[in-house]
A and B are shown apart, each in its own frame.
Chain A
């Protein structure tokens, strides 16, 4: 009987919280998750966040450098709340430093079209384009470097070849589809898309993502010329032009009837982002990051496109059921009508529907 009392007492002890070992350990785990999550979103602790003028307005930095007060994407506090959780973004580009300190935990799949391997390192020692683009989207909140817009999204990196056949380009998009990409960022183009590539992109934009449509973002190019028959001119893609720190169209940004929106791409002030680590890459002022004032700055519509891809990831985090055309309409309808070119029926050929505004975008979802 004494043993029965002991057993009953023991069970009661465990079940009622006197068993603090069990409960506290669960609580500790939950607490540590919460702690980790909240520290993970404290973006102001990122050392170079203050100079990410394209994302947010740091008064001191803006005043010192005479940056237009509206040159950023108006994030409010949304970058603290949203990070693209559960969203997969494929970046198709020239190579990536997968071991970059600011991308730890970000990369889930890699593929190299040249040989079918998972090695996507840059072919040339000085190249850094794909790393820079990926950083703008997905750099983690880890008290290192910068903050990516979609810093909780999962990144798929697909390395292209400088010279590619149309069948290989189709294969790039097939791979992004196979890996489950919700968004595909393209900071490249050929200037003259073939019918087979166009068909593949249109099909994915209409039928990908389980019928909701994959969001395919293209940079429009930096030649101050009409987009003409470029990949970015396909109506089903989201085409992105560039603005600079004066909050006007960057002089190099291509234009045309199919331009959708513009986003910061920089010119005199570059876009602070990642360089390949160590002595690889091309940055001069810092080994691992391309700072806004680096002599080899990162600027162009290549920087504008990943800003929009990142924004789309936040939109899909808030509402994963948005279709491709709904995403496109929200981006267009909430854009700021900047610049000195008149807008007719809400758009013009140099700014598209205007500059993306994150606060307005998220408020309309």
Chain B
């Protein structure tokens, strides 16, 4: 009985712990998790957004700041690591775990000095 309870809690954790949406151009876009059974074993979680696009979410996120004054504070506050600069005030950051990426992106997105934040989505390029 105890084991069943633990398994139930683990599933709940994976199913409910992280946000199931992101922001694009300040609009909320819903996500549904694909294949939640393998979630704990892969470095990427795969979601489908409301337009049907499959998006991979890893432990990387992208943030565009209006200015970089508060960057170091945000790195500290959210326990983020700087991966690299992608352009002016545009950074690739790493979270402690992929399960945190959506939550942190969404929280950063609401900060006044941040233009936008989003997971570093992984997508398939389609030849035409």
* Chain A interfacial positions (CB closer than 8 Å to B): 93-94, 129, 160-167, 170-171, 174, 187-192, 194-196, 199-200, 203, 219-222, 228-229, 300-302, 305
Contact = CB atoms under 8 A, between A and B. Distances in A.
B90 to A, nearest CB: 7
Interface residues of B, number: 28
B87 A174 contact: yes
Interface centre among A160, A165, A220, A221, by most chain B C-beta atoms within 10 angstroms, is A165
Interface of B: 24-25, 49, 51, 53, 55-56, 58, 60, 62, 64, 83-84, 86-87, 90, 92, 116, 118, 120-128
B122 A170 contact: no
18 contacts: A94-B127, A160-B125, A163-B122, A163-B123, A165-B56, A165-B60, A166-B121, A167-B84, A188-B125, A188-B127, A190-B123, A191-B126, A192-B53, A192-B55, A195-B116, A196-B90, A220-B128, A221-B128
B53 A191 contact: yes
Contacts of B124: 162-163, 190
B128 A187 contact: yes
Interface centre among B25, B62, B127, B128 (most CB of A within 10 A): B128
Given A94-B127, A167-B92, 4 more contacts: A164-B123, A174-B86, A191-B126, A196-B116
A190 B53 contact: yes
Given A170-B86, A196-B118, A200-B87, A163 B128 contact: no
Contacts of A189: 125-126, 128
A300 B128 contact: yes
Q: Which of A161, A170, A192, A219 has the most CB of B within 10 A?
A: A192
A222 B126 CA distance: 10
Nearest to B127: A129
A188 B124 CA distance: 10
A194 B126 contact: no
B86 A171 contact: yes
B126 A188 contact: yes
A203 B90 CA distance: 13
B62 A167 contact: yes
A163 B127 contact: no
Contacts of B24: 194-195
A203 B123 CA distance: 22
Nearest to A221: B128
A167 B92 CA distance: 7
Given A174-B87, A192-B53, A228-B51, A167 B127 contact: no
Q: Which 3 A-B pairs have the closest CB atoms?
A: A192-B53, A302-B128, A219-B128
A279 B59 CA distance: 41
A222 B128 contact: yes
B118 A165 contact: no
Contacts of A164: 122-123, 125
A195 B86 contact: no
A37 B75 CA distance: 59
Contacts of A192: 49, 51, 53, 55, 123
B88 to A, nearest CB: 9
Contacts of B84: 167
B25 A195 contact: yes
B53 A167 contact: no
B62 A166 contact: yes
Nearest to A191: B53
Contacts of A195: 24-25, 116, 118
A162 B87 contact: no
Contact of B128 (A166, A171, A196, A301): A301
B123 A161 contact: no
Nearest to A199: B64
A302 B123 CA distance: 19
A160 B125 CA distance: 8
A199 B62 CA distance: 12
B86 A302 contact: no
User: Residue among B53, B92, B118, B126 with the most chain A CB within 10 A?
Assistant: B126
Contacts of A221: 126, 128
Contacts of B53: 190-192
Contacts of A190: 53, 123-126
Contacts of A93: 127
Contacts of A222: 128
